[in-house]
Every structure is written in C-alpha cells, then in structure tokens.
Amino acid sequence: MSIGSNVLNITMLGSRGVGKTTLLASMYNEFDKMVKDISLTLTPNQETSSILQQRLAELKRQTEVFSPKRGIDGTNSPKEFIFDLGMVGKTPEIQLRFKDFPGGFIKDNPNEVKKFLSAADVILLAIDAPAMMEAKGIWHEKINTPQMITDLLKHVVQNLDATTKTKLLIMVPVKCESYVQSDNEARKLLQTLKDSYTSLFNLLKADRLLDKFAVVVTPVQTLGSVRFTRIEEVDQGEPRFFFRKVSPSAIYAPRDVDQILRYTLGFCIKKYLDDMSFFKRVLNQLFNMSQAFEQAVRKMAGNARKETDGFQIVQGATLLSRD
Ligand SMILES: Nc1nc2c(ncn2[C@@H]2O[C@H](COP(=O)(O)OP(=O)(O)O)[C@@H](O)[C@H]2O)c(=O)[nH]1
Ligand SMILES: [Mg+2]
C-alpha cells in the first residue's frame, strides 16, 4: 500500500477451477458477521458484486455429489475484483484490488504476471488441497504447478532489493474440508504443504528476505459442509475430484474465510504505520486515513486471528501487527 493512494494490491495465483472466485465470494459474504461490532463496511464495485452474487447463488445450489469442473468459466483472461473498505456511512478509506490470474494465463504471459507480482502488496496463492493430499500427491505438480510459482517468486524477490517494499504471501489450501477436522489432520496438511513447496520456502527464508517477506498458511473452508470422496481419471490423464455434502440437507457453511482479510489488513495497517512514521519524520506530511478507521482495521486484524489448526505464520511475524 502506498501512502496517498490507499490502494492495496492483492495478486491471486492458482490454477483455474481451484476456487479463487469462490474464496472471494465467501469472504465477502462473511464480512458483515466478522465486523459486527466494529462499524466497518466492505463494498464491492458493480462488476465485482455481480460476479460474486452469481457465484454465491451457485454455491447455495451445490448438489449432493459434485465434481468441480476446471476451466468452464470461459475466458482465460485476468480479472479484477475491487472492494472499498471504510466506516459505515462514511467515505471509503482503502481500496482492495484483487487481481485474478488463472493458471493458463500465467503460463502464456509470465511477464505481465511478474509485473503485477512485483507491484503487489499481498500475494494470495490458492492451493488445491486434494491434489496435494490425495493419491500420494501425484496430481500436485500438474494442478498446483509449484515449480512455476517458485520461479515467478524468484523474479519477485530479485526485484525486492531495490525497494523498501514488504510483501505478504498467503498460502491458502482450498477444498481442504477433509483435512482440517482434527488437530492431527490439520498438522498433517501443514506438514504436507511444507514438503510440497520446499523450494519456495527455501527461496523465501533467505536472510535478507526474513524481515521483508511474510509468509502465512491459512487453510480456509470456502464451502464447509462437503468432503472429498474420490478421484476418477478421465481422458488423457485428466483427473476429476469428487466431493459429497456431509448430509443431503447440508448447506453452504464457509469457515475461517475471515482469516484472509485479518492477515491482509493486519499486514496493511502495520505497513501503513511504518511508512507513516517514516514519512512523518522525513516530510512531516499529512495522511488521509482517519484515526477511527485505523483503529477499526487494527481491531479487526488483531481479533481472533488463528495460528493453530493448520494456520501458521511461517516467517515475518513482525510485519503483521499484533495488538
Ligand atoms: N469441495 C470444495 N469445492 C470447492 C471449494 N471452492 C470451490 N469449489 C468448487 O470449485 C469450483 C470452481 O471454483 P472457482 O471459484 O470458480 O475457481 P477459480 O477458477 O479458481 O476462480 C466451484 O464451482 C466449486 O464447486 C471448496 O472449498 N471445497
Ligand atoms: Mg475464477
């Protein structure tokens, strides 16, 4: 986030069909519950709102047994989801811009993606949890392309030196309902994730990056009431993953999706305060985040942030405010 513009850029990575739009829809849908005593409000722009409403309606109609299809949503072009965040009844004070890069686009246009990643404050990596956890992870490389992600981040960290910009990487195992129902399972998910992204973790834990690049793992249940059931291999090595509702009458029941915003805004407010004290010293400049808003965001970010049950701050805890 740069002082003055108050725009927070969030770049989303993850294969098509992994659940990125669903994640945003669930997050937005849960927002009011999350801030009920804080007077914050999140307002999507028209286009964002209509896409998310449509997605929510689909989620609520989810059949008892289903297999998410990959790549049926037509275009393979990047999308932008825009939300304004502010105090209820007041002019918004921060804009959150989620840039959604589907897997296929990244492969064809790496340079454009690198540019966005370098400019991003937060990188949200959606990881297909069943691909990583089931069948000894044989589908992980194909679906989650960890090497391609690591290569993109290599570029980002090379360019980080030149600036004082800090970044937050949020690794989000999605479709993870089957792996977080007990402490033991959640620990196993976290460990498998660490084993499945060793080169990425090794890259980011270089000394010079430890206080610049925060990394957190946040397994969120965007549907909640479903479980993985089986994989069917259809034509030419294309797997299909099947899920089943926990009971025929189970309804859409997302869990922990608030964590994404708690971490994102915790990082953002810390960055804002650090930048502000720097600029105050140097320029004695005035800034445009109201104190009431700053306090509300701080409160939201600090409240109920999870660090157990598969959630972990892997590095850079000091970049995430904590009071
Ligand atoms: N089991 C399960 N399925 C999910 C979850 N999130 C999304 N899906 C399924 O995955 C499909 C694709 O999700 P979508 O958000 O469009 O993926 P995107 O291409 O990454 O934006 C949806 O139609 C859902 O059926 C989840 O948390 N659990
Ligand atoms: Mg999408």
- State if residue 175 touches ligand 1 by the CB under 6 angstroms criterion: yes
Task: With respect to residue 304, please indicate whether it lies within any of the assigned structural domains.
Answer: yes
What does the pLDDT read at residue 164? Answer: 57
If you search the block for the tokens 């701050």, which residue do you land on? 313
| Closest ligand 1 atom number to CA of residue 221 | 27
Judge contact between 94 and 86, C-beta under 8 A.
Answer: yes
Judge contact between 19 and 103, C-beta under 8 A.
Answer: no
Average pLDDT, integer, range 93-122: 90
Q: How many CA atoms lie within 13 A of 72 on its CB side?
A: 5
Those residues with Cβ within 8 angstroms of residue 156's Cβ, 6 or more apart along the chain or in another chain: 114, 117, 118, 123, 167
Among protein residues, the one whose CA lies closest to atom 5 of ligand 1: 175
Domain boundaries, position 178: 7-318
Q: Tell me, what DSSP letter sits at residue 197?
A: T
Decide if pLDDT at 108 tops 50. yes
Task: With respect to residue 254, please indicate whether it lies within any of the assigned structural domains.
Answer: yes
Distance 297 CA to ligand 1 centre (A): 29
Task: With respect to residue 115, please indicate whether it lies within any of the assigned structural domains.
Answer: yes
* AA identity, residue 250: A
Q: Output phi, psi for 7, to 5 deg.
A: -110, 130
Helix, strand, or coil (residue 108): helix
Q: What is the pLDDT of residues 237-265, one digit of tens each?
A: 789 999 999 999 999 999 999 999 999 99
Average pLDDT, integer, range 303-315: 92
What does the pLDDT read at residue 162? Answer: 59
Q: How many helices (H) and strands (E) does the chain have?
A: 11, 11
**Beta-strand relationship, 94-102 and 7-14:** parallel
- Reading the block at residue 33, the tokens are 């519950």
- State if residue 209 touches ligand 1 by the CB under 6 angstroms criterion: no
- State if residue 143 touches ligand 1 by the CB under 6 angstroms criterion: no
**More confident of the two residues 234 and 247:** 247
Decide if pLDDT at 149 tops 50. yes
Decide if pLDDT at 72 tops 70. no
Number of domains in the chain: 1
E-strand spans in 218-311?
226-234, 238-245
- State if residue 224 touches ligand 1 by the CB under 6 angstroms criterion: no
What does the pLDDT read at residue 256? Answer: 96
What does the pLDDT read at residue 283? Answer: 47
Please provide the average confidence, as pLDDT, over all residues in the chain. Answer: 89
- State if residue 146 touches ligand 1 by the CB under 6 angstroms criterion: no
CATH code assigned at 298 = 3.40.50.300
Average pLDDT, integer, range 147-168: 85
Among protein residues, the one whose CA lies closest to atom 12 of ligand 1: 17
Angle, nearest 10°, between helix axes 258-283 and 291-302? 140
Among protein residues, the one whose CA lies closest to atom 14 of ligand 1: 19
Q: Which of 18, 20, 22, 179 to mutate to test the pocket of ligand 1 (most atoms within 8 A of CB)?
A: 22
What does the pLDDT read at residue 115? Answer: 92
Band (39; pLDDT cuts 50, 70, 90): very high
Among protein residues, the one whose CA lies closest to atom 9 of ligand 1: 68
What does the pLDDT read at residue 280? Answer: 54
Task: With respect to residue 323, please indicate whether it lies within any of the assigned structural domains.
Answer: no
Task: With respect to residue 108, please indicate whether it lies within any of the assigned structural domains.
Answer: yes
Average pLDDT, integer, range 182-195: 97
Helix, strand, or coil (residue 80): strand
Task: With respect to residue 2, please indicate whether it lies within any of the assigned structural domains.
Answer: no
Task: With respect to residue 1, please indicate whether it lies within any of the assigned structural domains.
Answer: no
